[in-house]
Chain A
Amino acid sequence: MERTLEGIPNLFPEPLRSSVAARLSEKNGEIEEIRLRNGFPPTCLYGQRELPIQPEPPGFSVDGKLLSEVVTRASRYSAYAVQDQLRQGFLTIPGGHRLGVCGRVILHENGIHSISEFQSLNLRIAHQKIGVADPATNLLWSEPGSALIVGSPGRGKTTVLRDLIRQTSDRFSQRVGLVDERGELAACLDGIPQLRIGRHTDVLSGCPKSVGIELLVRTMNPNWIAVDEISSEWDADVLIRASYTGVRFLATAHVWKKADLQYRPVYRRLLEAEVFAYLIEILPDRTLSCERMKDAFR
């Protein structure tokens, strides 16, 4: 497993910084999330259990000032640069880690304007598992076709997608266009991907999928296009339109089980249009089940 953990402790002011650094090194980088809730001690998620992080002095608890400080550091002292992300309730930080934000939502006419008076923060630590998509690649490459990765939250859809992108790009020397809307897949910093996504991958960071897919098709001549978390009708529209150009897709969808695909209108449209040839399901034990789409719903 590969991770870029160096910058994480620096997100936190002392004394929390030292304690987070100690926890990260103690658990050998296996910590999945760091959680800060106003009025409570900080914790970290390790093996689906929340363990306390205990900074000095004893009885330390998180307050609003600390939460604001962490968000300010995560935005690199540039709230204006991350306002679009913040409206969606998260910030992507160097290394591809994602800081989820809860607090008081400030509404304007067109929806969420900002979030302030933070109540809790959740830092999801990005990780790269080289070879995690191996069970899927053999079937996928016997007869190449678009693949949809499904699984419930936290199962590792993004990790599998990232490895599929890397293998498609490096192992099979295919041009991959990546629309990295949330900056989690490539985690580009100053134009350089922080995570391994392959030599033949072109990345559009921070771009909505519906816009990015068309842009990539028009300008980069990709063999494959990869996107994370298809969720809206617009995403489905543009995927269906772009599939007519002959480009193939690697994508993820947020569902608890594969049967949900048939009940959600967005995914049902994609199934009916036969955009995806393969279904990769991440099972509860985090193994992959890969099958042809037409066999999956027989």
Chain B
Amino acid sequence: MLSVKLLGAILIIGASTWVGLHASRSVKRLDRRLRELCDSLELMKNELCFTNTSFEPLCRRLSESARGEVSTFFRELSQQAGTKDFSPVGAAKRASDAAKLNLPPASFFALERLIDGFGRYDLDGQLRQIELAQQELSAQLARNREDMDSRCRTYELLGICTGAAVIILVI
């Protein structure tokens, strides 16, 4: 009987710890995605300034240089751009859903505005659009980093403590 209780306690505390760790990892992943996106937008600016790369090869290039979800996001965009009925409007939403980018609403809105209006302006206008999106993403990155460590620790601790509390209550 004791061994069953012990096994149950281990399972409960294991599960709640996993939930806490998962929440903590989500915060860290968001940080990585935002960093990757900021780097990609910087590369986008350089590609436009120095090689005038057009939208489809630009997305392909960004997909090759980025990692994880951001790479998938740009790969999706480049694949969409290769289709007959492509329109940049709505492309960011579709690519983000497919890549599971899961950005905070304000950051996603900045990215969506950039992609939806892509290619409508001359080089100066296009660079300014990228800078606007960069500003929003950098601000989000800074906000995320401000309390990232404490939030991660809190989630991990909460996971363990919740498990422990449940064990105490149940057993």
Contacts and interface: CB of A to CB of B under 8 A. Distances in A.
28 contacts: A13-B85, A72-B119, A72-B120, A75-B54, A75-B119, A76-B54, A76-B55, A76-B56, A77-B54, A77-B56, A77-B88, A77-B119, A78-B58, A78-B118, A79-B119, A79-B120, A79-B122, A80-B52, A80-B119, A80-B121, A80-B123, A80-B125, A80-B126, A81-B54, A83-B122, A113-B122, A114-B122, A190-B57
A65 to B, nearest CB: 13
A81 B123 CA distance: 7
Contacts of A78: 52-55, 58, 118-119
Interface string A260-288: 00000000000000000000000000000
B81 interface: yes
Contacts of B52: 78, 80-81
Nearest to B120: A79
A10 interface: yes
B53 A81 contact: yes
The bracket for how many chain B residues form the interface is: 20 to 34
Contact of B123 (A13, A77, A83): A83
Contacts of B48: 80
Nearest to A77: B119
Name which of B81, B88, B120 has the most chain A CB atoms within 10 A of its CB: B120
Interface string A43-86: 00000000000000000000000000000100111111101000
Contacts of A77: 54-56, 81, 86, 88, 118-119
Contacts of A114: 122
Contact of A79 (B58, B81, B85, B121): B121
A293 B133 CA distance: 60
A253 B93 CA distance: 50
Interface in B119-169: 119-123, 125-126
A77 B88 CA distance: 8
Contacts of B57: 190
Contact of A10 (B53, B56, B84): B84
Interface in A169-200: 190
Interface string A205-237: 000000000000000000000000000000000
A121 to B, nearest CB: 18
Nearest to B48: A80
Nearest to B57: A190
A78 B52 CA distance: 9
Given A78-B54, A79-B120, A79-B121, 8 more contacts: A10-B84, A77-B81, A77-B119, A78-B53, A80-B48, A80-B121, A80-B125, A83-B123
Interface in A72-127: 72, 75-81, 83, 113-114
Nearest to B91: A77
A72 B116 CA distance: 13
Q: Which 6 A-B pairs have the closest CB atoms?
A: A78-B54, A77-B119, A80-B123, A76-B54, A77-B55, A80-B126
Contacts of A17: 84
A35 to B, nearest CB: 22
Name which of A75, A79, A80, A190 has the most chain B CB atoms within 10 A of its CB: A80
Contact of A80 (B81, B84, B88, B122): B122
